[in-house]
Structure 1
């Protein structure tokens, strides 16, 4: 699915957030333990305030902790190569018109894991020219999961020629995590961070 980037970003984040942020004095031990994982993962200084999404997600301490655990696992404990992971996340974010996911992962992966040309082509998907076999299969897997809730046989077989059993298992888990994230962030109209001013832009 293609989006007009500016229109979609305005639709999702152009209005006020639907739930208020929680202040630090409203958090409990489960929040603080999960926040510490985030701080270590991203190298944040101690005492740094929660990003808008997490300050809203904190309305549910149980889901907050579980969500952070899965997110940390997807980010630093997954066996998927970083390029495979970011291709899958960004294609999923684009398909779901998710400005927060898209912008954050463009910021974190551009000129490190993916080139600027890669990021532009992700908006076109697996049919764009210039992908190698694994890249194309990863993008197609995200597209098939979006369209049909499963990876087709041809795509699976291509992936299996490059990835081991653990990586094959983790790919749809990572995609599913970011589908859930898109549902929540888009529905909450989560404010974009300073690192992500443009949402669904590719620059």
Structure 2
């Protein structure tokens, strides 16, 4: 299993190692977006980036220092070298993202269920593949990934996992968690955790929209994490 430093994870959105499963597609997509053995086909939205990643030689000193540990097999991850075109934004975004990823009051497994469901609903191959990797490191199984993709009514889905998935669906569709779902989640989570849940889902919707719209390309070493087991 591929390793990555904790700082790379704190530097945000994703860097770790792997999983997959069989799935019933959620959102309607082009026929080529999914295949029998893939959750999503790499680059099914765009084969080339709209905003090309900067080279390390082009990065300013402070930006390079910020991103130096966010590497995938020696190279700074594409999300960071793409967003480096806006260094002022990146400098302020990283601490916020770090708080949500490493400073969250949510259990790590629950956190990754939320992120993966939002990545799936957003059809962000980059987001999904990186967090399949992270999810596996914090205890998600192939079967868990399958259920996250299949949705809140998936067979053998634990009730609390179903509530987490349903909350993400409701936030994505209506920007609102229903009373019924809130009651289930708040029966286990305290107030801080409920706030973290909403911020986490919203943040990864933002990240997914950014990745999709800028055409950030998934690194070759992560494409295997789009494959079903």
TM-score, normalized by length of structure 2?
A: 0.77
Confirm or deny: 8 A CA contact 2:43 2:218 kept in the other structure: no
Give SS of 2:140's match.
coil
Give SS of 2:220's match.
coil
CA distance in 2, matches of 1:87, 1:75: 13
Classify 1:128/1:85 alpha carbon distance in 2 versus 1 (closer, same or farther; 3 Å).
same
Give SS of 2:147's match.
helix
Is 2:96 aligned against 1:74?
Answer: no
Confirm or deny: 8 A CA contact 1:100 1:199 kept in the other structure: no
TM-score, normalized by length of structure 1?
A: 0.86
User: For 1:117-165, what per-residue CA distance to the aligned partner results, in whole angstroms no more than 9, with x for missing partners?
Assistant: 0101111111112122221111000000011011111101110001011
Is 2:45 aligned against 1:12?
Answer: yes
Confirm or deny: 8 A CA contact 1:88 1:139 kept in the other structure: yes
Structure-2 residue corresponding to 1:163? 189
Structure-1 residue corresponding to 2:167? 141
Match runs of 1:115-134 below 5 Å: 115-134=141-160
Give SS of 2:222's match.
coil
CA distance in 2, matches of 1:118, 1:195: 22
Is 2:207 aligned against 1:175?
Answer: no
Confirm or deny: 8 A CA contact 2:133 2:225 kept in the other structure: no
Instruction: Kindly report the root-mean-square deviation, in angstroms, between the aligned alpha carbons of the 2 structures.
Output: 2.3
Structure-1 residue corresponding to 2:116? 90
2:85 to 38, 59, 64: 59
CA distance in 2, matches of 1:86, 1:137: 14
Classify 1:67/1:154 alpha carbon distance in 2 versus 1 (closer, same or farther; 3 Å).
same
Consecutive unaligned residues in structure 2, runs of 5 or more? 1-25
CA distance in 2, matches of 1:10, 1:52: 14
Confirm or deny: 8 A CA contact 2:50 2:215 kept in the other structure: yes
Classify 1:114/1:185 alpha carbon distance in 2 versus 1 (closer, same or farther; 3 Å).
same
Confirm or deny: 8 A CA contact 1:74 1:174 kept in the other structure: yes
CA distance in 2, matches of 1:77, 1:71: 9
Is 2:64 aligned against 1:32?
Answer: yes
Is 2:210 aligned against 1:184?
Answer: yes
CA distance in 1, matches of 2:173, 2:225: 23
Q: More helix per residue: 1 or 2? A: 1
* Aligned pairs, number: 196
User: What displacement does 1:194 show?
Assistant: 3.1
1:50 to 68, 76, 84: 76
**Deviating 4+ runs (over 3 angstroms):** 1-4, 6-10, 198-203
